[in-house]
Amino acid sequence: MHNFHLDQKRIEVFVKAVHSLQDAGFANPLFFAETEIELLRREATALPFKKAQPLVGKGVYQDFSICFPAPLKNSFKLAAQMLERACKIIEQKRQGLFESEVKINDCAVQSYPAHSRGIGIHKDGLRYRNLVFILTLDGQSELFVCSDRLGTDRLVVSDEPGRLVIFPAPGFNYVEQEDQRPFHGVDNVVGGRLSIGFRQEQC
């Protein structure tokens, strides 16, 4: 497989995952090849990081370093463009699924040290639209979703390297109310964690 090539099999996997969000709070298909993960990992580890603000929003702790905005170039750009193209294919078959053309313009890379607290339970901001994509590149940790800020109905999301975690966001047709954005967090960071978030920020 050529790196970041959107072949028919990958399109089918993506379409099925996105439509599953009609009944689920997340999707996590196996989507990226090992060679692609290696390219992204190599580029991510070379970025300049700074310590994240320890406490944000409604008392959400952050125990990681971040590169934001991370440059959308090289393998990051190729991955983002592939996700955009996949969304465009879905939109052609199911018009009105997104409030606007999916254009990834927000990229963050987060690096958690081993045994960090992770990030507290939160929702992504309302400014992020349509879909949110999370891709783990390295480490051992637990990304989870839950039904409230207390962690009720906690469900660990399988997000090992190669899986693409997709969260619904406002503007996506299956999100009927803006507060349907999923609560989520990261903990049990045993072996560290390196991850990318691709988002569409409303301009």
Confirm whether 87 is domain-assigned. Answer: yes
Evaluate whether residue 110 is within a structural domain: yes
Of 102, 111, 79, nearest to 10 by C-alpha is 79
Does residue 1 lie in a domain region? no
For residue 105, what is the domain's CATH number?
2.60.120.620
Domain count, the chain: 1
Task: Provide the residue type at 107 as one letter.
Answer: C
Tokens encoding 109: 């890379």
Would residue 80 count as lying in a domain?
yes
pLDDT in tens, 111-132: 999 999 999 999 999 999 999 9
CA 201 – CA 182 distance, rounded (Å): 17
Distance CA 47, CA 67 (A): 7
In a domain, 90, yes or no: yes
Does residue 2 sit within a domain? Answer: no
Per-residue confidence of the chain (203 residues) as pLDDT tens digits?
579 999 999 999 999 999 999 999 999 999 999 999 999 999 999 999 999 999 998 899 999 999 999 999 999 999 999 999 999 999 999 999 999 999 999 999 999 999 999 999 999 999 999 999 999 999 999 999 999 999 999 999 999 999 999 999 999 999 988 888 999 999 999 999 999 999 999 97
Scanning 66-183, the segments in alpha helix (DSSP H) are 74-93
Cβ neighbours of residue 192 under 8 Å, at least 6 residues apart? 111, 112, 113, 114, 116, 138, 139, 140, 141
Is 3 a member of any domain? no
Within-domain flag for 60? yes
Structural domain of 72: 8-199
CA dist., res. 64 & res. 75, Å (int): 23
Q: What predicted TM-score, i.e. pTM, was given to this entire model?
A: 0.97
